[in-house]
């Protein structure tokens, strides 16, 4: 049981990074559907750099830089150029898929020279997740910078009247959030699986997005659901082995079925009214417009 908990925490950590990054972005009103592309691209970049340099920390840093690139592109298109956030995010996800396949095609079957030995310090990861979620909650709900972040996500026109630079806040939040998403992807290969195959990490970004929704955009709740989904993924590996011998293809769809079930419960219960998304989430902001 202790071993399973340890694996659940290690598997849930990349989801925790990605979901908290998405919380930052969406609290500013920017719907970042490029989370999937940033996660997969970050995973491939981290693995490739680590194989080429032998430095696992450099690989993790590069995964964050890859996330920043996705964030900058999404911020420019959806905030500065006022493009459709959904279209921009999905386009960047497809871009992330392609970029990951391009840089990772020569890495399939390559041994990872070094990796993050996380299972022995799983309790440290739990402590980190709790402390980081509390810190992010404190910043968002108790500091002035967090009030600015929430203001541009709820009512950007009023925030602009009060002197807040909506475009600047949204772009910074998007870039910072994507940086954390990229780090999550890097952790997925360097701290959890230690391998690279075509399509590795696909779907984990969407699961992280679901975690944000069922957490009610509250960073305090994200570690709970991240480690829960991490436990599901860890259990999948165990169920493939004797004496269970469950079909791995059947187990492969389990995380997504549970994700759909969690979202259905969230939308069909009073939780939807209690945990509401930012009022301006996904809406393009035009500075020239004013509300009455």
| Residue 48, domain extent | 2-274
Q: What's the token pair of residue 280?
A: 């301006």
Whether the predicted pLDDT of 67 surpasses 50: yes
Cα–Cα distance, 118 to 191 (Å, whole number):
6
Whether the predicted pLDDT of 230 surpasses 60: yes
Residue 231 lies in a domain: yes
- Burial bucket for residue 275 (CB in 10 Å: 0-12, 13-18, 19+): middle
Using one digit for the tens of pLDDT, what is the confidence trace for 84-124? 999 999 999 999 999 999 999 989 989 999 998 887 788 88
Return the CATH number at 268: 1.10.3470
Structure confidence at residue 288 as a pLDDT band (50, 70, 90): low
Question: pTM (2 decimals)?
Answer: 0.93
Using one digit for the tens of pLDDT, what is the confidence trace for 185-226? 999 999 999 999 988 999 999 999 999 999 999 999 999 999
Mean pLDDT of 224-240: 87
Number of other CB atoms surrounding residue 205 within 10 Å: 29
Q: Which range, of 12-21, 147-156, 201-210, 268-277, averages the lowest pLDDT?
A: 268-277
DSSP 148-159: HHHHHHH-HHHH
Residue 292 lies in a domain: no
Residue 291 lies in a domain: no
Residue 149 lies in a domain: yes
Residue 289 lies in a domain: no
Residue 94 lies in a domain: yes
- Count of domains in the chain? 1
Structure confidence at residue 1 as a pLDDT band (50, 70, 90): confident
Predicted local distance difference test score (pLDDT) of residue 235: 84
Residue 242 lies in a domain: yes
Residue 279 lies in a domain: no
Predicted local distance difference test score (pLDDT) of residue 270: 82
Most confident of 62-76, 117-131, 277-291: 62-76
Residue for token pair 């871009």: 95
C-alpha torsion angle, residues 239, 244, 245, 247 (rounded to 10): -60
Predicted local distance difference test score (pLDDT) of residue 243: 82
């Amino acid at each position: 049981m202790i071993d399973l908990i340890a694996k659940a925490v290690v598997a849930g950590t990349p989801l925790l990074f990605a979901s908290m990054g998405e919380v930052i972005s969406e609290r500013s009103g920017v719907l970042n559907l490029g989370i999937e592309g940033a996660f997969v691209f970050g995973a491939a970049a981290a693995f490739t750099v680590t194989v080429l340099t032998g430095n696992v920390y450099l690989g993790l840093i590069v995964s964050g830089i890859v996330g920043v690139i996705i964030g900058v592109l999404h911020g420019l298109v959806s905030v500065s150029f006022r493009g459709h956030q959904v279209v921009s995010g999905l386009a960047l996800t497809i871009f992330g898929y392609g970029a990951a396949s391009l840089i990772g095609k020569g890495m399939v079957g390559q041994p990872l020279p070094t990796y993050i030995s996380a299972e022995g310090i799983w309790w440290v990861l739990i402590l980190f997740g709790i402390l980081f979620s509390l810190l992010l909650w404190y910043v968002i709900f108790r500091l002035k910078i967090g009030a600015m972040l929430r203001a541009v996500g709820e009512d950007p026109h009023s925030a602009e009247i009060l002197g807040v630079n909506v475009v600047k806040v949204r772009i910074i939040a998007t870039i910072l959030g994507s940086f954390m998403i990229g780090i999550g992807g890097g952790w997925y290969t360097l701290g959890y699986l230690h391998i690279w195959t075509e399509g590795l990490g696909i779907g984990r970004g969407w699961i992280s997005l679901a975690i944000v929704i069922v957490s009610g955009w509250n960073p305090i709740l994200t570690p709970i659901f991240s480690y829960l989904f991490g436990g599901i993924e860890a259990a999948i590996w165990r169920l493939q082995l004797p004496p269970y011998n469950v079909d791995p293809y059947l187990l492969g769809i389990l995380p997504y079925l549970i994700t759909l079930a969690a979202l259905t419960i969230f939308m069909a219960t009073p939780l939807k009214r209690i945990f509401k998304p930012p009022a301006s989430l996904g809406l393009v902001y035009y500075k020239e417009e004013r509300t009455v």
